[in-house]
Amino acid sequence: MSHLNTLRNLLTLLTPGFEARSAALAKGSYNAGDFFSLSKGTSSGDITAIVPQDLELQAHITTWSPESPYELNFLKSIPATQAVSITHEFDRFRSWSNRKVVFGSFPERGLPVSSRFDAVRRNVNLRIVGQTSDVTVVAAMENTINVGGATGAVNIQQNALQVQVLGLKQQALLFSRTDTVRTGTASPRVRGLIQAIQEGTDGTEDESPIGSHIIDLKGAPMTQSVVRDYITAIIEQFGAPNSLYMAPGARADFEASLDGSYFLPMPLSDAPYSLGQQVRGISSQGADISFITDNMLQPNHPLSARGKYDPDLDEQAPTGLPTIVSCTAAPGSGSEWDQSSAGEIFYFITEVVNELQSTGARYPATASTYFTVAAGDVVSLSVRPSVVQADSFRVYRGKQGNNEGERPYFAFEVANSGGGSAVNFTDKNLDRPNTTTAFLLSVNSDAQRAMSTSRNYADLVSKSGSFLGQADNELTNTVSFVHLGPQMFKVDLAAILATASRPLIMSVATAQVRQPRKNIVFKNVGRAR
What is the full DSSP assignment across 478-512? SEEEEEESSSSEEEEPPP-SSEEE-EEEEEEEEEE
**The whole model's pTM is what?**
0.84
Specify whether the CB–CB gap between 219 and 267 falls below 8 A.
no
Residues 6+ apart with CB under 8 A from 328: 379, 380
Beta strand 489-492 with 520-525: parallel, antiparallel or unpaired? unpaired
Task: Look at residues 380, 515, 505, 506 and name the one whose alpha carbon lies nearest to residue 443.
Answer: 515
Q: Where are the domains of the chain?
A: 73-87+124-259+279-299+437-525, 323-434
What is the overall mean pLDDT for the chain? Answer: 83
Q: What is the pLDDT of residues 501-529, one digit of tens each?
A: 888 999 999 999 999 999 999 999 999 87
Task: Look at residues 202, 164, 196 and name the one whose alpha carbon lies nearest to residue 179.
Answer: 196
Torsions phi, psi for 308 (to 5 deg): -80, 155
List the single range of 121-135, 138-152, 229-243, 463-477 with lowest mean pLDDT: 463-477
Angle at 227 between CA 221 and CA 230, to 5 degrees: 130
Q: What is the pLDDT of residues 319-346, one digit of tens each?
A: 999 999 999 999 999 999 999 999 999 9
7/15 Cα distance (integer angstroms): 12
Angle at 188 between CA 187 and CA 193, to 5 degrees: 95
Number of neighbouring beta carbons within 10 Å of residue 419? 11
Q: Would you give the end-to-end CA distance of the chain in angstroms?
A: 78
481/161 Cα distance (integer angstroms): 20
pLDDT at position 2 is 52
pLDDT at position 266 is 57
Q: What is the pLDDT of residues 384-409, one digit of tens each?
A: 999 999 999 999 999 998 878 899 99
Which CATH class, in words, describes the domain spanning 73-87+124-259+279-299+437-525?
alpha beta
Q: What is the pLDDT of residues 219-228, one digit of tens each?
A: 999 988 899 9
pLDDT at position 346 is 97
Task: Look at residues 485, 507, 469 and name the one whose alpha carbon lies nearest to residue 127.
Answer: 507
The pLDDT of residue 94 is above 80: no
Task: Look at residues 520, 529, 489, 481 and name the one whose alpha carbon lies nearest to residue 158.
Answer: 489
476/237 Cα distance (integer angstroms): 15
Percentage with pLDDT > 90 across the chain: 48
List the single range of 179-188, 295-304, 462-471 with lowest mean pLDDT: 462-471
* Strand ranges, E, within 197-242: 214-216
Specify whether the CB–CB gap between 277 and 53 falls below 8 A.
no
Number of neighbouring beta carbons within 10 Å of residue 31? 9
User: What mean pLDDT is predicted for residues 53-74?
Assistant: 75
Query: Chain centroid to CA 209: how far?
Result: 31
pLDDT at position 495 is 82
The pLDDT of residue 310 is above 50: yes
Helix (H) or strand (E) holding 440: strand 436-441
Specify whether the CB–CB gap between 358 and 323 falls below 8 A.
no
pLDDT at position 277 is 59
pLDDT at position 40 is 42
The conformation of residue 150, written as its DSSP 8-state character, comes to B
Amino acid, res. 86: I
The conformation of residue 270, written as its DSSP 8-state character, comes to S
Confidence class of residue 494 from pLDDT cuts 50, 70 and 90?
confident
Task: Look at residues 351, 342, 498, 356 and name the one whose alpha carbon lies nearest to residue 415.
Answer: 351
Radius of gyration of the chain (CA): 32
The pLDDT of residue 37 is above 60: no
443 or 59, greater pLDDT: 443
The pLDDT of residue 30 is above 50: no
Confidence class of residue 287 from pLDDT cuts 50, 70 and 90?
confident
Specify whether the CB–CB gap between 124 and 157 falls below 8 A.
no
